[in-house]
Amino acid sequence: MDQQTVAAVAERWPTEIRLSGDKRSLIVAFEDGGRFTLPAEYLRVSSPSAEVQGHSPAERKVIGGKREVAILNVEPVGNYAVKLTFDDMHDTGLFGWGYLYDLGREYRNRWATYLSELDERGLSRDPAVRPAKKSGEASGGGSCGTGCGCH
């Protein structure tokens, strides 16, 4: 790669960062015409945080159960990144412009790898579901017995 190409890659500048109305995706557009709709689940499981990435590639975690995750907040960090707060309260990764661009450009491959890793580990995209209490089972506050959590 020549120096001009390296500089162009290093300076990916977004022209738009917008949270979708349902809070399930982040729309990001860049000066070079790149435009990506990044699902919240994909962003959550790809978080650049140490909690997800670890401190080395060997420590990277595969996070399941995030199919229904939403983005609560998109906060700018300087002129180089955004901090996303997810509804599972994860908020420790800073998504730099280059990383967001790479996530968009490499979405198909990264997503396929993620799905394979889930499968290999016996994990699911779906959140863990607590079994419903049986009728008459003590619940420390009462329950209608359907597992709806109303009591």
Residue range 52-108, pLDDT digits in tens: 998 888 899 999 999 999 999 999 999 999 999 999 999 999 999 999 999 999 999
pTM of the model: 0.79
Indicate the helix (H) or strand (E) that contains 76: strand 71-77
Q: How many CB atoms lie within 10 A of CB 34?
A: 15
CA 54, CA 36: separation in Å to the nearest integer? 26
Mean pLDDT for the stretch of residues 17-32? 97
pLDDT digits (tens, 9 = 90+) for 136-145: 544 444 434 4
CA atoms within 13 A on the CB side of 45: 25
